[in-house]
Chains A and B, each alone.
Chain A
Amino acid sequence: MLQSSVIEEIKRIVGKEHVYTSLEERICYGYDSTPEAFFPDLVVRPATTEEIQKIVKLANHHLFPIIPRGAGTGLSGGSVPVKGGVVLDLTRMNKILEIDEENLVAVVEPGVITYELQQEVEKRGLFYPPDPASLKTSTIGGNVAECAGGPRAFKYGVTRDYVLGLEVVTPTGELLKVGGKTVKSVTGYDLIRLYTGSEGTLGIITKIILRLLPKPEAKKTLMAVYPSLDDAAHTVTMIIKKGIIPATLELMDDLTIRCVENYLHMGLPLDAEAILIMEVDGPAELVEKQAVQVAELCRENGAREVKIAADEKDRDEIWRARRAVSAAVVQIKPTKISEDIAVPRSQIPKMVRRLKEIAARYDLNLVIFGHAGDGNLHPNILCDQNDAEEMERVRKAIAELFKAAVELGGTLTGEHGIGTMKAPYLKYETGDVGYQVMKAIKKALDPNNILNPGKIFLE
């Protein structure tokens, strides 16, 4: 518990209306989009970097944890206050400070909502590609802290590929500025990459310089239905071999298709093993040509049915299936454990089979969808968190699916982060040495273990 004198001091720093002390308000800052929930001692909503520095210094003096938080839509438990302490809600710092059209960069505060930034830059003919599913609510600060990805990652990369500079309050309350508006910079260690994806454990990001692209002129959406999953996976390889890099290549497995069809009744084939939803973008002429090429490739490689969206309405209809996945699958059971392993693209069919074996062994409902272009799969286990026995089976299945991913040359998490949910499995991938190096970095930068304790590493 925090001493009341400390609470008073924090109120003086940020203003008392920006500090939540009541039980009811604090409890609303103890969760994210996972089933995890804890209880912060205090919620503080600062408006400036200076306020944050003062609070961090206070924390080092009185030794209380600080948990930085954006919109709280993470999927790894990254922003939940495992050890209590102060939740630092950064949503009030939500200004787009600059959109520099000449240098193609945007300078933003951490609380800016991803979608709002995208809307603003697109008005100017520019493009910020990272598109996590939560983009209408998630914040850029959260995206950077977790290194969020999205369907467009195969062609356009993930958040880290767009961060050019950062302003960070260090765990001891100093102000660190790294990078700037240049695309190239090799001055010393690459701290930007260190901080991007650091999950709030190494610093509090207070300003972000992002790289922008010119907005692609056109896009075209396709959907292909496959009787065989292997054929779908093979098609992806063939498309890339042809020199076409689709902006998105979304895969849905048989169970996912059935759930969506039961939910929407939109005429999806119940006997299909896979559906691919693909989007090509770029100059209008090229896009038209590529869409036709992709459709041909799909047919040549075993697709039973291929649709090219003729207009915006068709496009929406195709995406409706993908967008409905989350809602459709929870019709099976209410609790959804969403994982995000990634494997080398060629291993997708093998990984899918391994996942299905694991689900069968533990008698669990498992649906798989994800990003076929970059090998990032989202196996989702549908269960009931009130059923302790089932949750135990879920835990065992998850441990196995992580092992399988690593064995196939993959990773525990493509875009959600380790947080609390995957902390027990970290060493599967990093090994002892990797683990020790990461811990050493944390220890060196945050000697008092102030920032987001209980994350990434099991303590």
Chain B
Amino acid sequence: MIKVETVKTYLDRCSKCGGCQAVCPLYGETMAEPLVARGKLFLIKNHIEGKLELSPKMKELMSLCLLCKACMENCPNKIPVDQLVLWARQKIAQEKGISFVKKNIFQHLLKNNGRLTIAARLGYFYQHSGLQWLVRKSRLLELFGDLAKKESLLPEMAKVPFRNQVPRLLPVSRPQKRVAYFTGCLTNFVFPDIGYAVINVLRNNGVEVVIPEQWCCGIPALASGDEETAVDLARKNVKVFQRENVDAIITDCASCGSTLKEYAELLETPEARSFAEKVLDFSQLLADVVGFQPGEEELSGLVVTYHDPCHLRRGMGISEAPRSLIKAVPGVTFKEMKESDRCCGAAGSFNLTYYELAVSIGRRKAKNVQDTGANVLLTACPSCIMQLRHVLQLEGSDVQVLHLAQLLDKTYSNAEKKS
């Protein structure tokens, strides 16, 4: 947690120019000053000066931030707004506690892979036993406000988590690099297809992959102000990955990737620093380290556009690598969309808490996607994929949403045909 003195110096740098209004997705939908960075910083400043309590309203306003970093990129004084919002959330969590549900999820599920797997299986059971059908048919959830809509956001769970499906080591003959794969929770529990695609692309490019036991990266806890849980998870991950003799630690998830990068500041240990230095996004490894070679399969008729995940572009500073990979695939037409780096509205669990707002942000993205005429939308974050599929479906669009790895995978004759 950054110190209050540091927070104060950052707050002093805000000239209240309001430039953040131009890029804040929440302000774009609501034009509400308390939701834009300038408003939030002013609220935090007033709290520090003793003029505002950490009231429920304050908690609500601080939770209304996508942490998309667009304001920071646009800020003439480069104020790290997300750190300040997180500081406030953490202070609120410490002084007022976090919600019962979140507390249980963070402290009892995220820290325990066995329980997390059971929860995912229960999810699978709910979706496949007919229970979900029954619940939807009965319209039971409509009794709870927009719970029915939120339920429709829930992705279909994998029957068996990805890491339980694949061996720990995936060797190649004469590897040019050896990497440890941090699969993230979404690939593990929801999108095993992405995991298979990542592995297959890497192996076709001479990269040996090892998948150690691992825990949630901690971003859900961090975003809710529960630094304690995040620190605990970070320690566990660093300890396990440290044992692997690898050139890099790779992720297929922008949110995980940017969080793993932050382990250095979170733990402040030499081990965490060397861990963080090794973290690369899947696209970065392929484009910048390995030198991606597509396979022989002809892809034709694919018109592709790309959505920049906030945590990849602004979190990890990666925007060229995914594009260069897409352009390296023969037969694919790439079309840049308008506002490709504007948040899709997923923002972790933001779309569950503020469904309507998240959907209106997402619809703008869906429109920009559709305006390109593309038939495939690529991105590099499973959380974005969930949201993008949901909003495109709401718009009645048949654009297919895939992870970048899944497109690259299609070029190999041994491509993962599971999807």
Residues on A lying within 8 angstroms of B by beta carbon are 20, 22-25, 27-29, 31-35, 37, 71-73, 89, 91-92, 94, 111, 115, 134, 136-137, 324, 326-327, 330, 334-336, 386
Cross-chain contact B21 with A94 (CB below 8 angstroms): no
Cross-chain contact B34 with A28 (CB below 8 angstroms): yes
* Distance from B375 Cβ to chain A, minimum over Cβ atoms (Å): 27
- Of the candidates B15, B21, B33, B58, the one having the most CB atoms from chain A within 10 angstroms of its own CB is B33
Within 8 Å of chain A (Cβ to Cβ): is B104?
Answer: no
Known: A24-B52, A25-B57, A27-B43. A137 touches B34 (CB 8 A): no
Q: Which residues of A contact B43 (CB under 8 A)?
A: 24, 27-28
Q: A98 to B212, alpha carbons, bound, how many Å?
A: 61
Residue in contact with A24 in the complex, picked from B15, B19, B57, CB distance below 8 Å: B57
Q: Which residues of B contact A22 (CB under 8 A)?
A: 55, 57
Q: A122 to B34, alpha carbons, bound, how many Å?
A: 32
Task: Name the residue of chain B whose CB is nearest to the CB of A116.
Answer: B22
Residue in contact with B12 in the complex, picked from A34, A137, A334, CB distance below 8 Å: A334
Cross-chain contact B33 with A72 (CB below 8 angstroms): yes
* Distance from B96 Cβ to chain A, minimum over Cβ atoms (Å): 14
Known: A31-B16, A136-B19, A336-B15. A326 touches B76 (CB 8 A): yes
Task: Name the residue of chain B whose CB is nearest to the CB of A34.
Answer: B16
Cross-chain contact A24 with B31 (CB below 8 angstroms): no
Interchain Cβ contacts under 8 Å between A and B, 26 examples: A22-B55, A23-B57, A24-B34, A24-B55, A24-B61, A25-B61, A27-B42, A27-B43, A27-B46, A27-B52, A28-B43, A31-B42, A33-B16, A33-B17, A34-B16, A89-B31, A115-B22, A134-B17, A136-B19, A137-B21, A137-B22, A326-B15, A327-B76, A330-B13, A334-B13, A335-B12
Within 8 Å of chain A (Cβ to Cβ): is B175?
Answer: no
Residues on B lying within 8 angstroms of A by beta carbon are 12-13, 15-19, 21-22, 31, 33-34, 39, 42-43, 46, 52, 55, 57-58, 61, 76-78
Q: A327 to B73, alpha carbons, bound, how many Å?
A: 13
Q: Which residues of A contact B16 (CB under 8 A)?
A: 31-35
Q: A32 to B16, alpha carbons, bound, how many Å?
A: 7
Q: A28 to B62, alpha carbons, bound, how many Å?
A: 13
Known: A25-B57, A334-B13. A33 touches B18 (CB 8 A): yes
Q: A31 to B17, alpha carbons, bound, how many Å?
A: 10
Q: Which residues of B contact A134 (CB under 8 A)?
A: 17-19
Known: A71-B21, A137-B19. A29 touches B58 (CB 8 A): no
Task: Name the residue of chain B whose CB is nearest to the CB of A37.
Answer: B42
Q: Which residues of A contact B46 (CB under 8 A)?
A: 27
Q: A445 to B21, alpha carbons, bound, how many Å?
A: 34
Known: A33-B17, A72-B18, A334-B12. A327 touches B34 (CB 8 A): no
Task: Name the residue of chain A whose CB is nearest to the CB of B21.
Answer: A137
Cross-chain contact A33 with B15 (CB below 8 angstroms): yes
Q: A32 to B38, alpha carbons, bound, how many Å?
A: 10
Known: A24-B52, A134-B17, A330-B77. A29 touches B33 (CB 8 A): yes
Q: A129 to B16, alpha carbons, bound, how many Å?
A: 25
Q: Which residues of A contact B55 (CB under 8 A)?
A: 22-24
Q: A73 to B27, alpha carbons, bound, how many Å?
A: 14
* Distance from A308 Cβ to chain B, minimum over Cβ atoms (Å): 27
* Distance from A383 Cβ to chain B, minimum over Cβ atoms (Å): 12
Cross-chain contact A28 with B42 (CB below 8 angstroms): yes
Q: A159 to B22, alpha carbons, bound, how many Å?
A: 21
Q: Which residues of A contact B31 (CB under 8 A)?
A: 89, 91-92, 94, 111
* Distance from A332 Cβ to chain B, minimum over Cβ atoms (Å): 12
Main secondary structure, interface of B, reads helix
Which 5 A-B residue pairs are closest in the complex by CB-CB distance?
A327-B76, A28-B39, A91-B31, A136-B22, A137-B21
A326-B15, A330-B77 known; 4 new pairs, CB 8 Å cut-off, are: A324-B76, A326-B76, A330-B76, A336-B15
Q: Which residues of B contact A25 (CB under 8 A)?
A: 34, 57, 61
Task: Name the residue of chain A whose CB is nearest to the CB of B58.
Answer: A24
Task: Name the residue of chain A whose CB is nearest to the CB of B22.
Answer: A136
Task: Name the residue of chain B whose CB is nearest to the CB of A29.
Answer: B33
Q: Which residues of A contact B34 (CB under 8 A)?
A: 20, 24-25, 28
Task: Name the residue of chain B whose CB is nearest to the CB of A25.
Answer: B34
Task: Name the residue of chain B whose CB is nearest to the CB of A20.
Answer: B34
Cross-chain contact A73 with B18 (CB below 8 angstroms): yes
Task: Name the residue of chain B whose CB is nearest to the CB of A22.
Answer: B57
Q: A6 to B22, alpha carbons, bound, how many Å?
A: 34
Q: Which residues of A contact B52 (CB under 8 A)?
A: 23-24, 27
Cross-chain contact B39 with A71 (CB below 8 angstroms): no
Q: Which residues of B contact A336 (CB under 8 A)?
A: 15
Q: A370 to B61, alpha carbons, bound, how many Å?
A: 38
Q: A23 to B16, alpha carbons, bound, how many Å?
A: 19
- Of the candidates B22, B58, B77, the one having the most CB atoms from chain A within 10 angstroms of its own CB is B22
Q: A324 to B43, alpha carbons, bound, how many Å?
A: 27
Q: A37 to B46, alpha carbons, bound, how many Å?
A: 11
Q: A35 to B42, alpha carbons, bound, how many Å?
A: 11
Task: Name the residue of chain B whose CB is nearest to the CB of A87.
Answer: B33
Q: A114 to B227, alpha carbons, bound, how many Å?
A: 42
Task: Name the residue of chain B whose CB is nearest to the CB of A92.
Answer: B31
Q: Which residues of B contact A34 (CB under 8 A)?
A: 16
Q: Which residues of B contact A33 (CB under 8 A)?
A: 15-18
Cross-chain contact B61 with A73 (CB below 8 angstroms): no
Residue in contact with B78 in the complex, picked from A73, A115, A327, CB distance below 8 Å: A327
Q: Which residues of B contact A335 (CB under 8 A)?
A: 12
Q: A72 to B20, alpha carbons, bound, how many Å?
A: 12
* Distance from A328 Cβ to chain B, minimum over Cβ atoms (Å): 9
* Distance from B323 Cβ to chain A, minimum over Cβ atoms (Å): 19
Task: Name the residue of chain A whose CB is nearest to the CB of B9.
Answer: A334
Q: A25 to B61, alpha carbons, bound, how many Å?
A: 9
Cross-chain contact B18 with A330 (CB below 8 angstroms): no
Task: Name the residue of chain A whose CB is nearest to the CB of B20.
Answer: A137
* Distance from A369 Cβ to chain B, minimum over Cβ atoms (Å): 14
Cross-chain contact A326 with B22 (CB below 8 angstroms): no
Q: Which residues of B contact A92 (CB under 8 A)?
A: 31
* Distance from A284 Cβ to chain B, minimum over Cβ atoms (Å): 27
Q: A330 to B15, alpha carbons, bound, how many Å?
A: 9
Q: A134 to B17, alpha carbons, bound, how many Å?
A: 8
Q: Which residues of A contact B76 (CB under 8 A)?
A: 324, 326-327, 330
Q: Which residues of A contact B21 (CB under 8 A)?
A: 71, 73, 137
Q: A111 to B61, alpha carbons, bound, how many Å?
A: 23
Known: A24-B43, A27-B43, A28-B34. A71 touches B18 (CB 8 A): yes
Q: A23 to B34, alpha carbons, bound, how many Å?
A: 11
Q: Which residues of A contact B58 (CB under 8 A)?
A: 24
Q: A145 to B31, alpha carbons, bound, how many Å?
A: 19
Q: Which residues of B contact A28 (CB under 8 A)?
A: 33-34, 39, 42-43
Q: A334 to B15, alpha carbons, bound, how many Å?
A: 8
Q: A423 to B17, alpha carbons, bound, how many Å?
A: 21
* Distance from B13 Cβ to chain A, minimum over Cβ atoms (Å): 6
Task: Name the residue of chain B whose CB is nearest to the CB of A75.
Answer: B17
Q: A24 to B55, alpha carbons, bound, how many Å?
A: 9
Q: Which residues of A contact B12 (CB under 8 A)?
A: 334-335, 386
Q: A111 to B76, alpha carbons, bound, how many Å?
A: 24
Q: A312 to B19, alpha carbons, bound, how many Å?
A: 23
* Distance from B272 Cβ to chain A, minimum over Cβ atoms (Å): 31
Q: A148 to B78, alpha carbons, bound, how many Å?
A: 26
Q: Which residues of B contact A386 (CB under 8 A)?
A: 12
Task: Name the residue of chain A whose CB is nearest to the CB of B46.
Answer: A27
* Distance from A244 Cβ to chain B, minimum over Cβ atoms (Å): 32
* Distance from A132 Cβ to chain B, minimum over Cβ atoms (Å): 12
Q: Which residues of A contact B57 (CB under 8 A)?
A: 22-25
Q: A324 to B77, alpha carbons, bound, how many Å?
A: 10
